[in-house]
Amino acid sequence: MAGELDTLAINTIRVVAADIVQKANSGHPGAPMGCAPMAHLLWGTFMNYNPRDPKWLNRDRFVLSNGHACALQYLMLNLSGYDVPMSELQRFRQIGSITPGHPEAGITPGVEVSTGPLGQGISNAVGMALAESHLAAVYNKPDFTLFDNFTYVICGDGCLQEGVSSEACSIAGHLQLGHLIVLYDDNHITIDGDTNLSFTEDVLKRYEAYGWHVQAVAEGDTNLVGLKSAIEAAQKDPRPSIIKVRTIIGYGSGQQGHHKIHGSPLGAADIAETKKRMGFNPDQSFFVPDDVRAFYGRRAAAGAERQQAWNELRAKYARAYSKEAADLARREAGELPADLLSKLPKYGADAKPLATRQLGELTLNALAGDVTDLVGGSADLNPSTLTYIKASGDYQSGTPAGRNIRFGVREHGMAAICNGMAAYGAIRPYCSTFLNFIEYCFPSVRLSALSHFPVIYVMTHDSIGLGEDGPTHQPIEAIPLMRATPHLNVWRPADGNEVNAAYVSALRQHKIPSVLCLSRQAMPHIAASSLDDALRGAYVAVKETAALQIVLVGTGSEVSVAVEAAKAFGAGARVVSMPCREEFLRQDKAYRDSVLPVGIASLAVEAAATSGWTDVVHYAHGINRFGASAPAPDVFKDCKLTAGDVVETAKKLVARFPAGSAPVLGPL
Amino acid sequence: MAGELDTLAINTIRVVAADIVQKANSGHPGAPMGCAPMAHLLWGTFMNYNPRDPKWLNRDRFVLSNGHACALQYLMLNLSGYDVPMSELQRFRQIGSITPGHPEAGITPGVEVSTGPLGQGISNAVGMALAESHLAAVYNKPDFTLFDNFTYVICGDGCLQEGVSSEACSIAGHLQLGHLIVLYDDNHITIDGDTNLSFTEDVLKRYEAYGWHVQAVAEGDTNLVGLKSAIEAAQKDPRPSIIKVRTIIGYGSGQQGHHKIHGSPLGAADIAETKKRMGFNPDQSFFVPDDVRAFYGRRAAAGAERQQAWNELRAKYARAYSKEAADLARREAGELPADLLSKLPKYGADAKPLATRQLGELTLNALAGDVTDLVGGSADLNPSTLTYIKASGDYQSGTPAGRNIRFGVREHGMAAICNGMAAYGAIRPYCSTFLNFIEYCFPSVRLSALSHFPVIYVMTHDSIGLGEDGPTHQPIEAIPLMRATPHLNVWRPADGNEVNAAYVSALRQHKIPSVLCLSRQAMPHIAASSLDDALRGAYVAVKETAALQIVLVGTGSEVSVAVEAAKAFGAGARVVSMPCREEFLRQDKAYRDSVLPVGIASLAVEAAATSGWTDVVHYAHGINRFGASAPAPDVFKDCKLTAGDVVETAKKLVARFPAGSAPVLGPL
Ligand SMILES: [Ca+2]
Ligand SMILES: [Ca+2]
């Protein structure tokens, strides 16, 4: 059912993918061999892309959700003319190569998102399709279709078993993201063996229940015609589409259909036999026939032409809709409006006590008018997290220009969707839930950090201060978790100026995601606070009035506890507010020493597990237990986090390290 | 459609639940009022329970998956005669009460699991139903039906949107857990407003796709007859059953049907009007009519009789099947076989290098023959995590006596199911995946800790040492996360004796879950290791041979790096192996000081983020970045985690803190 050139190309993909894994002596040959026909159809027939400009805004997106099959993706990028040379395919899974063991965004041209942790890619793709539909609604005009790309996914059983994909695909159905097309590689094989061992649900029926358009293609190893017509139908159908493609893992090899082929090289003998059967020279590795190269070369040229036409359309658009075009250009470049800071809420010395989630609502809404790229929402907690952009409405299938996404009670899907929107470009996604439930979506937060997606996580109810909801809702280990994660800024602001700084810093990041930890409860304004000081990550909030004995370092709602404790301790106590430890540690030594003077005992005060603090201060007063269910002041007492408790610790610490004797901390 | 007494009881439940929330001035009245008919039917008609013995092994289990509705659960426990007095209902959400803001296992008699974090309860229930079917298969005999209880769940929309429940319910369908009955409170309301905002999928169709038995009941606020016959049908059907019950949130109140009633007290005026409409005295609060008390009193008496009959059956069973009865009694008491230690694999000084996951396979299989309560499996990673109990077979619907559960690629569901099995009793659940993917299930791990369920998490591929799979699979922040979590033992053993200790310690816990971090790669045996030393959490692995200058503290695969570094450093270096920091910190000061002498610089060496170490040692050499994809030795080099790198850090640390000058660490 496939033409001669198609067959040649598909078999080339199969054997070179096997070569890649064999040379590395590590990796997964089975899925690349089984998925070769789908990949050939996508890159060879359906997808619009220009390998010379992997960031073309209206390119079709491709996500390999079963990231372990990445030998396939790297090979397709090579064939299609991306800057992924054969020499890098030969350095698969080696140090410093652009062909790591699972795809990582930012490493390899043409790789959109980091996949491998199962379920993430397909969920990212939901975000990409959402981004496309939103940008189309905002920017397309009659005769100016700037955005109409498709997002294609290849995934396996594993991705569809993961809860994150259930969440994301349920919302994709609700939102009717018609430009999302998923090819499900149904090979009946998992690592353990046959899918009958654990995965016997009716997948297509489930997706139909989500509101998807579902199709099945039999004999996907050879049935190109069937595959092609299914993809065409998917393009036309207004719903998100999933196509179940029955394949044989490792098709064409001697071990086809066996689960051992999932994660181990074929071995030289099987590869040689496979090549022979397919008409290749068994002595040649990494061999691509000229006809195949020429075929993909023509596709690359066609893609370049298509982008050229789009560029011309966009130039014409810029003349007809100069304001929209300028805004889109700013957003694509990741720039902020020039006068952003002037829009921030102002707080005088007598600003009234508010919860930082309320202050966050003020800042978000003050900025969102100009920062049109802010698009996001909460996991069914808008009345609590206060993250609704009031200047816009709901994003729904009938109102795709709305900037407020109702994610439902789906934290993990929400975060993965935000990664997808960030990957798409021209959108600065944010999302929101209670801080404790960042653990529901942390695998996606980690991938924001690894992938350099500057997603903004607005996490409220950030401590035992949430009170009555109790230990199941009170974060303890969440803040240490986030601070231990590379490439992640963790903000815990204490007042309006610090909340402003948190949002400004988060928006200025191009490569680092930020978590904003905001309180449920009100807290007093810090007289000495300012945007600039807060942006440095830490600053002196209350200066000592006698010889310095101790520095109390508070974050968020515990800055006011520290202020009270300092008063009770005496004139030799200083209070430092440290809304962002990561930013503080990026300051120069002179500034750091001016805040935390050498030789002086320092004590952190934070309503969270103390783990991690003693890299920066000499001791930490926190909560190394689960919280309690009661009104917040009672919980603070129960957890020994009152000013009196802090003073007691401070005195003991000064006894351990009298002024001048506190040891040096920090990097050797 | 309800009799007079039923109506009285249901209305009593509605108004007293509202009273409970009103008195606390905090909580969720809407769901308790809407779910009152279901609750009355379950406690009043269907469930077998004995309030005098909340731990009766064959009791029906009840899980309130929408834990925020717990005013309902506490009230039902009070009515049913559990030791949950009215005075505690009046201390709802107050410090020290047994009625916290969300249900917590171990606090309130009759509360089986901790719920509130959405999706967990229904997933725990899958584990409970699995446990029942397994124990029935293992222990029931002709004429001796020791196990045949049902597990009932009430849940709301939120629980069904969460990915964890999708995972657990998919596997429940695969396993055909026929004794699981879920009542889905379909009130069309979420925190944000109408479910139309975000949740429009066809839930019953989805559950049908999972292989469940699905039913819908209209007018669930009044239609007791319909509800009753649906539950009867669910009991008879061999599949897990979900019954969608259409209700009105806050039914009976003036604000019924509105989303604001979800999370705020009704207010005194609305409560008074509601009571009047229902025929109660509006001036009376927490009032239960005598007829209602009497009705539930009869149910309690019937339950006590039923347990008495069961106790007699069990006594007869003990005579007929003494071996099985003794094993069951041991398991129910949480005891270990007396001669357990003699079964452990023995390792001589010349034991050959193996990966700790391989050593783990040896220990698990050496113990599993006698510790028949070990039941578990992996998230489709048996060939990698090596956690299959070879003496048993698969747990499948046709083979429920099997002890190996094929969880599929469903980490979060897996962990939640293990919590449910632990809650059931007489089972010591374990589960397994790659360490990095503990983040996929961490909300459930946290609930193991909070709920005191001693689940054993066997997490392999525990560092950059997994090599080629790369940064998406290499844990960095996972170990700091776990160590920051209260009530959790984190083991990272370095050889066979330490792996033995990890399993022995984990099995000895009655209230603390354990995570065993095991390596992909082989590592040498530690000549000085022993079970007893390892059980102390840390011990001297290589003693210094000159005046002590520095202590290198390794864990897991980095003990051998520390040994090599110590050699290169010189005679003044000591190596400590610290497989479990939590156990070490529980030792007395004399022992701790003998391992880490006062005044001597100590340096941790661990292939993980360094966060948290400086509470115990003076500095940590680790990895505060993401890893890399390459063969393991290359990744260790790239991450600067070779012996040479450690020696460099050690020298700098000794320069900072020469012998005798290192500062005091630890609690003030
Ligand atoms: Ca479609
Ligand atoms: Ca059933």
Distance CA B502, CA A619 (A): 30
Q: Which residues of A585-623 are buried (b: 16+ CB within 10 A; e: fewer)?
A: eebeeeebeebbbeebbbbbbbbbbbbbbbbbbbbbbbb
Please compute the mean of the pLDDT values over residues A562-586 and round it to a whole number. Answer: 98
Ligand 1 geometric centre to CA of B158 (Å) = 27
A345 has pLDDT over 80? yes
Which pLDDT does position B86 carry in this prediction?
Answer: 98
A2 has pLDDT over 80? no
Of B411, B498, B558, B564, the catalytic one is B411
Give the nearest partner residue to A191 out of B94, B381, B481, using CB atoms: B381
Ligand 2 geometric centre to CA of B181 (Å) = 6
Identify which ligand lies nearest to the alpha carbon of B234.
2
Mutate to test the interface with B, among A201, A466, A624 (most CBs of B within 10 A): A201
| Region label for A188, one of left (φ > 0), alpha (ψ between -120 and 50) or beta (otherwise) | left
* Residue A574 CA, distance from chain mean position: 38
Would you tell me which residues 351-370 of chain A have a C-beta closer than 8 angstroms to some C-beta of chain B?
none
Please compute the mean of the pLDDT values over residues B88-109 and round it to a whole number. Answer: 98
What is the tens place of the pLDDT at every residue in A475-490?
999 999 999 999 999 9
What's the mean pLDDT when you consider all of chain A?
97
Query: What's A377-432 look like in SS3?
Result: EECCCHHHHCCCCCCCCEEECCECCCCEEECCCCHHHHHHHHHHHHHHCCCEEEEE
Distance CA A38, CA A13 (A): 11
Q: Which chain B residues are within 8 Å of A155, Cβ to Cβ?
A: none
Question: A100 and chain B: CB distance < 8 Å anywhere?
Answer: yes
Would you tell me which residues 204-223 of chain B have a C-beta closer than 8 angstroms to some C-beta of chain A?
205-206, 208-211
Phi, psi of A614 (to 5 degrees): -75, 5
Which pLDDT does position B263 carry in this prediction?
Answer: 87
SS3 A274: helix
Question: A629 and chain B: CB distance < 8 Å anywhere?
Answer: yes
Are B489 and B516 contacting, i.e. CB atoms less than 8 angstroms apart? no
Would you tell me which residues 572-611 of chain A have a C-beta closer than 8 angstroms to some C-beta of chain B?
609-611
What is the tens place of the pLDDT at every residue in A205-240?
999 999 999 999 999 999 999 999 999 999 999 999
- Interface contact A102-B470, CB threshold 8 A: yes
What's the mean pLDDT when you consider all of chain B?
97
Closest CA to A233 of A136, A150, A349: A150
How many residues comprise chain B?
668
Q: What percent of chain A has pLDDT over 90?
A: 97
DSSP code per residue over B232-246 = HHHHHSSS-EEEEEE
Our CA-based measurement puts residue A202 at a distance from the nearest CA of chain B, in whole angstroms, of 5
B109 has pLDDT over 70? yes
Would you tell me which residues 15-44 of chain B have a C-beta closer than 8 angstroms to some C-beta of chain A?
24, 26-27
* Residue B245 CA, distance from chain mean position: 28
Q: Which pLDDT band, with edges at 50, 70 and 90, does B2 fall under? A: low
Ligand 2 geometric centre to CA of B178 (Å) = 4
Token pair listed for B583: 């156990």
Identify which ligand lies nearest to the alpha carbon of A211.
1
Question: A185 and chain B: CB distance < 8 Å anywhere?
Answer: no
Question: A281 and chain B: CB distance < 8 Å anywhere?
Answer: no
Q: Distances in Å between the alpha carbon of B420 and those of A166, B81, B148, B599?
A: 22, 24, 16, 47
Question: B413 and chain A: CB distance < 8 Å anywhere?
Answer: yes
Please compute the mean of the pLDDT values over residues A504-523 and round it to a whole number. Answer: 98
- Interface contact A656-B668, CB threshold 8 A: yes
Which pLDDT does position B3 carry in this prediction?
Answer: 81
- Residue in A with minimal Cα distance to B195: A408
DSSP code per residue over B554-565 = E-TTHHHHHHHH
Which pLDDT does position B1 carry in this prediction?
Answer: 47
Distance CA B98, CA B94 (A): 9
The bridge status of strand A374-378 relative to strand A241-246 is: unpaired
A411 is catalytic: yes
Token pair listed for B91: 């201390």
Question: A463 and chain B: CB distance < 8 Å anywhere?
Answer: no
What is the tens place of the pLDDT at every residue in B41-50?
999 999 999 9
Would you tell me which residues 367-406 of chain A have a C-beta closer than 8 angstroms to some C-beta of chain B?
378, 380-384, 394, 396, 406
Question: B67 and chain A: CB distance < 8 Å anywhere?
Answer: yes
- Interface contact B26-A467, CB threshold 8 A: yes
Please compute the mean of the pLDDT values over residues B344-371 and round it to a whole number. Answer: 96
What is the tens place of the pLDDT at every residue in B500-550?
999 999 999 999 999 999 999 999 999 999 999 999 999 999 999 999 999
Question: A484 and chain B: CB distance < 8 Å anywhere?
Answer: yes
Distance CA A228, CA A259 (A): 28
* Residue B439 CA, distance from chain mean position: 14
Distance CA A444, CA A455 (A): 10
B629 has pLDDT over 70? yes
Side by side, the strands of the sheet bearing A213-217 are A61-64, A151-155, A180-186, A241-246, A213-217
Report yes or no on whether pTM surpasses 0.95.
yes
Please compute the mean of the pLDDT values over residues A490-514 and round it to a whole number. Answer: 98
Q: What percent of chain B has pLDDT over 70?
A: 100
Q: Which amino acid is at B82?
A: Y
DSSP state of A303: H
What is the tens place of the pLDDT at every residue in A26-71?
999 999 999 999 999 999 999 999 999 999 999 999 999 999 999 9
Are A392 and A402 contacting, i.e. CB atoms less than 8 angstroms apart? yes
Ligand 1 geometric centre to CA of A146 (Å) = 19
DSSP state of A137: H
Ligand 2 geometric centre to CA of B130 (Å) = 13
Of A88, A104, A167, A411, the catalytic one is A411
Give the nearest partner residue to B100 out of A209, A487, A629, using CB atoms: A629
Q: Return the beta strands (E) in A156-272 as ranges.
A: 180-186, 213-217, 241-246
Mutate to test the interface with A, among B21, B92, B161 (most CBs of A within 10 A): B161
Question: B198 and chain A: CB distance < 8 Å anywhere?
Answer: yes
Give the nearest partner residue to A100 out of B166, B211, B629, using CB atoms: B629
What is the tens place of the pLDDT at every residue in A581-610?
999 999 999 999 999 999 999 999 999 999
* Residue B579 CA, distance from chain mean position: 23
Q: Distances in Å between the alpha carbon of A352 and those of A355, A525, A627, B371?
A: 10, 7, 28, 61
Token pair listed for B277: 């409409």
A180 has pLDDT over 70? yes
Q: Which pLDDT band, with edges at 50, 70 and 90, does A1 fall under? A: very low
Question: A550 and chain B: CB distance < 8 Å anywhere?
Answer: no
SS3 B319: helix
- Interface contact B117-A436, CB threshold 8 A: yes
Which pLDDT does position B192 carry in this prediction?
Answer: 86
Comparing A195-199, A495-499, B182-186, which segment has the lowest mean pLDDT? A195-199
Are A565 and A549 contacting, i.e. CB atoms less than 8 angstroms apart? no
The residues, any chain, with a CB within 8 Å of residue A522's CB and separated by 6 or more, are: A353, A354, A355, A358
Distance CA B500, CA B338 (A): 16
Please compute the mean of the pLDDT values over residues B54-58 and round it to a whole number. Answer: 98
DSSP code per residue over A332-344 = HHTPPPTTGGGGS
Q: Which chain A residues are within 8 Å of B115, Cβ to Cβ?
A: 472
Ligand 1 geometric centre to CA of A65 (Å) = 18
Token pair listed for A410: 């789906």
Strand partners, B396: B399
Please compute the mean of the pLDDT values over residues B96-113 and round it to a whole number. Answer: 98
Distance CA B382, CA B433 (A): 9
Give the nearest partner residue to B200 out of A199, A211, A653, using CB atoms: A211
Give the nearest partner residue to B163 out of A158, A413, A652, using CB atoms: A413
Q: Which pLDDT band, with edges at 50, 70 and 90, does B232 fall under? A: very high
Q: Which chain B residues are within 8 Å of A406, Cβ to Cβ?
A: 192, 197-198
Q: Which chain A residues are within 8 Å of B415, Cβ to Cβ?
A: none
- Interface contact B657-A663, CB threshold 8 A: yes
What is the tens place of the pLDDT at every residue in B436-480?
999 999 999 999 999 999 999 999 999 999 999 999 999 999 999
Closest CA to A416 of A121, A17, A635, A665: A121
Which pLDDT does position B261 carry in this prediction?
Answer: 84
Q: Which chain B residues are within 8 Å of A635, Cβ to Cβ?
A: 95
Strand partners, A374: A428
Which pLDDT does position B579 carry in this prediction?
Answer: 98
The bridge status of strand B394-395 relative to strand B404-406 is: parallel
Query: What's A550-568 look like in SS3?
Result: EEEEECCCHHHHHHHHHHH
Q: Which chain B residues are within 8 Å of A201, Cβ to Cβ?
A: 170, 173-174, 209-211
Closest CA to A135 of A336, A325, A407: A325
Please compute the mean of the pLDDT values over residues B66-74 and round it to a whole number. Answer: 97
Distance CA A510, CA A334 (A): 7
Are B123 and B168 contacting, i.e. CB atoms less than 8 angstroms apart? yes
Residue A260, CA atoms < 13 Å, CB-side half-sphere: 6
DSSP state of B404: E
The residues, any chain, with a CB within 8 Å of residue B289's CB and separated by 6 or more, are: B8, B12
Which pLDDT does position B572 carry in this prediction?
Answer: 98
Would you tell me which residues 640-659 of chain A have a C-beta closer than 8 angstroms to some C-beta of chain B?
649, 652-653, 656-657
